Amino acid sequence: MPDHAKPTMPGLELRALTCRFGATVAVDALDLDIPAGQMLGVIGRSGAGKSTLLRMINRLQQPTAGLIRFGDTEVTALRGKALRDWRTECAMIFQQFHLVPRLDVLTNALIGRLNHRGTLSSLFGLFTEAERAMAIRALDRFGLAETALQRAGTLSGGQQQRVAICRALLQEPRILLADEPIASLDPHNARLVMDALRRVNREDGLTVLCNLHHLDTARAYCDRIVALAAGRIVFDGSARDLTAQRVFEIYGVTEDEFHEQPTLVAA
């Protein structure tokens, strides 16, 4: 269904969304409404359930209970082709990029087109000239056109993450899920990637959900911040409301202490 046929862009609704791993409750009966076009930052310390939350929305992780709804679509019930269509609509960006290092940058971006094509033609790598043009334009937009024919594994981390954003955009999605997209990047590259995400949100009108473990990044880039602890929402508000005082009240630690742990885990 073409999206301009819909009068209003639907938002994302999560109802009592739960995910258990054995005895661990990673996400605990979470209720959340995310209106279309919002840039939402999800914060929380290591193990709070941020990744599990995003992976459930993309359905890489099967929820134990609860509902995910997008407009009239009940995402939690999708299977087969309908599920792949949903995944195409909500593109995912990973901390470790998840590119194919041995394929060139152009082909990596074109992976975003796979679900728009027949299996057979895509298996032979037969992308159309129009699709290649689309990919090159996306790469050019984030300053990567010259690297198009290089193997993705030879790029810097920041470049690879921007390739991943291009792959996501080629899906022509409505939602972008980013799981700690800058956690393995240096400050300069982190800024480039966050700027790219904000452009996608502002210029392309995509809803962006972004897991972040640095509070200042969340404050600088996000319209709204949701804080998780043990799979539950412990804060939901604007960047202005998330003061150092609030952080201490919520987590019982200062902001510096809040930041310490994930850096260790990421290594």
* One residue of 12, 17, 34, 52 binding ligand ATP per CB under 6 A: 52
CB-nearer residue toward ligand ATP: 24 or 154: 24
- Rounded CA-CA distance 77/83 in Å is 9
Contact 90, 177 (CB under 8 A): yes
Tokens of 209: 């959900």
Site residues (CB under 5 A) for Mg ion, limited to 29-88: 51
Report the site for ligand ATP in 156-215 (rule: CB under 6 A). Answer: 213
Of the two residues 204 and 255, which places its CB atom closer to another protein in the complex? 204
The smaller minimum CB distance to another protein, of residues 105 and 164, is found at 164
Tokens standing for residue 67: 């509902």
With CB under 6 A as the contact rule, the residue among 34, 48, 99, 222 that binds ligand ATP is 48
Amino acid of residue 69: R
Binding residues for ligand ATP, rule CB under 6 A, total 14
Cβ atoms of 125 and 107 closer than 8 Å: yes
Q: What string marks each residue from 211 to 230 as x (binds ligand ATP by CB under 6 A) or -?
A: --x-----------------
Q: Binding residue for ligand ATP (CB under 6 A) from 30, 50, 86, 105?
A: 50
Q: Which residue has the tokens 């200042």?
A: 216
Query: What DSSP element (H or E) covers 53?
Result: helix 50-57
- Torsion angle, CA of 55/144/169/215, rounded to 10 degrees? 50
Which of ligand ATP, another protein, Mg ion, none has residue 112 at its interface (CB below 5 to 8 Å by kind)? another protein
Reference 228, options 213, 240, 217, 238; nearest CA is: 213
Q: Which residues bind another protein (CB under 8 A)?
A: 58, 60, 84-88, 91-92, 94, 96-103, 107, 111-112, 114-115, 119, 122-123, 125, 151, 164, 167-168, 171
Residue 61, Cβ neighbours under 10 Å: how many? 17
CB of 79 to another protein, least distance (A): 12
Nearest approach, Cβ of residue 178 and another protein (Å): 12
Residue 48 interface partner, choices another protein, Mg ion, ligand ATP, none, CB cut-off 5-8 Å depending on type = ligand ATP
> For residue 72, is it left (φ>0), alpha (ψ between -120 and 50) or beta?
alpha
- Choices 48-56, 62-70, 193-201, 240-248 (CB under 6 A): range interacting with ligand ATP: 48-56
Query: Any contact of residue 24 with ligand ATP (CB under 6 A)?
Result: yes
Strand order in the sheet with 207-211: 90-93, 175-179, 207-211, 39-43, 224-229, 232-237
Min dist CB 99 to another protein, Å, is: 6
DSSP 8-state secondary structure symbol assigned to residue 181: T
Phi, psi of 97 (to 5 degrees): 70, -45
Footprint of ligand ATP on this chain (CB under 6 A)? Answer: 21, 24, 26, 44, 46-52, 213, 262, 265
